[in-house]
Chains A and B, each alone.
Chain A
Amino acid sequence: MAGALINVPKEIRRGEPFEIKTLVRHPMETGYRRGASGEEIPRDIVNRFTCAYNGQEIFSADLFPAIAANPFISFFTVATESGELVFTWTDDAGKAQTETVKITVA
């Protein structure tokens, strides 16, 4: 797993909803495919995504093998105060990728 693109608006007003867009690089191998010599390709997907806003979880999603590679997830939340958004993608091996984005609420 390497690389994620996260987009939040530059200007966020207190009390108003804003959109968070995330895109992470991951093969999302389903576990149903076979390689060139017939061997099973083991499943390797991101199975959980969470987003915490100043330590409090505001969004989470369970992912399944039918989801395409490089999953794109976008969602809304309401701006309460300036601080940190922490995004975590956890894959089948239990490995987690974490990205942190600072936001300023005016």
Chain B
Amino acid sequence: MSRSAQRVTAGLAGLLLIGTAASAEIPEGERRSGFDYMSRETQAMQRDDTANPGMLWVREGEALWAKKAGPAERACADCHDDAKSSMRGVAARYPAFSEAAGRPVDLEQRINECRSERQGAKPLPYESQELLAITTYVAHQSRGLPVAPPRDERLDAFRERGRALYEARQGQLNLSCALCHDDNPGRHLAAAPIPQAHPTGYPLYRLEWQGVGSLRRRLRNCLVGMRAEAYPYGAPEYVDLELYLMSRAAGMPLETPAVRP
């Protein structure tokens, strides 16, 4: 066995041992964005809007914002006007409670709600380039603003469900989100640093994906990595998890479109 393979095995064994201790939340002063765990080169890529490939999606979203859709012949801009002012701070408040759905919805689902109710258009499929582009454009308007989960009692039960999912062990490796992201951030799984799992940059450009993807897609990645069965794309579990993750990241600045390795 090579030395690096030995180290990985030792690391995994350590992780399993640590797993017996109760997870503790990260203290506010020690919270760090995934940005801080990246190489200098990738950080530079995110900082420079002319080198950040996520900006291509922002630009496409800007075009879609003004494009009429559905039989109502209405564009997002016809109701919401200039996104730069009307959408400022919106992404920082999501997921939020939707009367129509009777439960919290994330930004993508809210955009689709608008499409079907106001524009009469078909909802865009999850992870479609169009939905990602509009969402990235809307979320980009909140860049730099602190995550501000709404004080809405109707959300509490869902947030608690998200926390329970976050702390529950699942999959063949019998891991929970908390085991890595609360107990071992900054350490490594093989060569990959473990971040604290603050969803501050979504939708983001991931170098591994060579494209922009949603938090939903990222959560699916983690579930597959734990050898658990990923929830289907429209599953409420993703929104519950996002609710909890956003409350955990409250006050941290949004980075959309972030770049991650």
Digit string of B52-91 for contact with A (CB within 8 Å is 1, else 0)?
Answer: 0101100110000000000000000000000000000000
Q: Tell me whether A70 and B210 are in contact (CB under 8 A).
A: yes
Contacts of A25 in B (CB 8 A): 53, 56, 60
**Contact pick for B50, options A3, A23, A28, CB 8 Å:** A23
A66-88 interface (Cβ within 8 A of B): 68-70, 72, 74
A7 contacts B by Cβ under 8 Å:
yes
Q: Tell me whether A5 and B55 are in contact (CB under 8 A).
A: yes
**Contact pick for B51, options A4, A21, A69, CB 8 Å:** A21
B207 contacts A by Cβ under 8 Å:
yes
Q: Tell me whether A23 and B210 are in contact (CB under 8 A).
A: no
Q: Which of A3, A27, A28, A72 has the most CB of B within 10 A?
A: A3
Q: Tell me whether B210 and A5 are in contact (CB under 8 A).
A: no
Is the contact region of chain B dominated by helix, strand, or loop, or is it mixed?
loop
Contacts of A93 in B (CB 8 A): none
Contacts of A74 in B (CB 8 A): 51
Q: Which of A4, A6, A7, A25 has the most CB of B within 10 A?
A: A25
B193 contacts A by Cβ under 8 Å:
no
> In the complex the two chains form, what is the Cα distance from A4 to B59 in whole Å?
9
Residue of A nearest to B63 (CB): A3
Residue of A nearest to B50 (CB): A7
A2 contacts B by Cβ under 8 Å:
yes
Contacts of B50 in A (CB 8 A): 5-7, 21, 23
CB distance from B39 to the nearest CB of A (A): 15
> In the complex the two chains form, what is the Cα distance from A68 to B42 in whole Å?
14
B150 contacts A by Cβ under 8 Å:
no
**Contact pick for B60, options A2, A23, A28, CB 8 Å:** A2
Q: Tell me whether A70 and B53 are in contact (CB under 8 A).
A: yes
Q: Tell me whether B56 and A3 are in contact (CB under 8 A).
A: yes
Contacts of B207 in A (CB 8 A): 68
B211 contacts A by Cβ under 8 Å:
yes
A5-B50, A23-B50 known; A68+B60 contact, CB < 8 A: no
> In the complex the two chains form, what is the Cα distance from A5 to B211 in whole Å?
15
CB distance from B90 to the nearest CB of A (A): 24
> In the complex the two chains form, what is the Cα distance from A6 to B56 in whole Å?
11
Digit string of A38-75 for contact with B (CB within 8 Å is 1, else 0)?
Answer: 00000000000000000000000000000011101010
Contacts of A21 in B (CB 8 A): 50-51
- Using A21-B51, A70-B56 as known contacts, list a sample of 5 further A-B pairs with CB atoms less than 8 Å apart, ordered by residue number in A: A4-B56, A25-B53, A25-B60, A69-B211, A72-B53
Top 9 closest A-B pairs, CB basis?
A7-B50, A69-B210, A70-B53, A25-B56, A21-B50, A3-B56, A3-B59, A5-B50, A68-B210
Residues of B within 8 A of A (CB): 49-51, 53, 55-56, 59-60, 207, 210-211
**14 A-B interface contacts by CB (under 8 A):** A2-B60, A3-B59, A4-B56, A5-B50, A5-B55, A5-B56, A7-B50, A23-B50, A25-B53, A27-B210, A28-B210, A69-B210, A70-B53, A72-B51
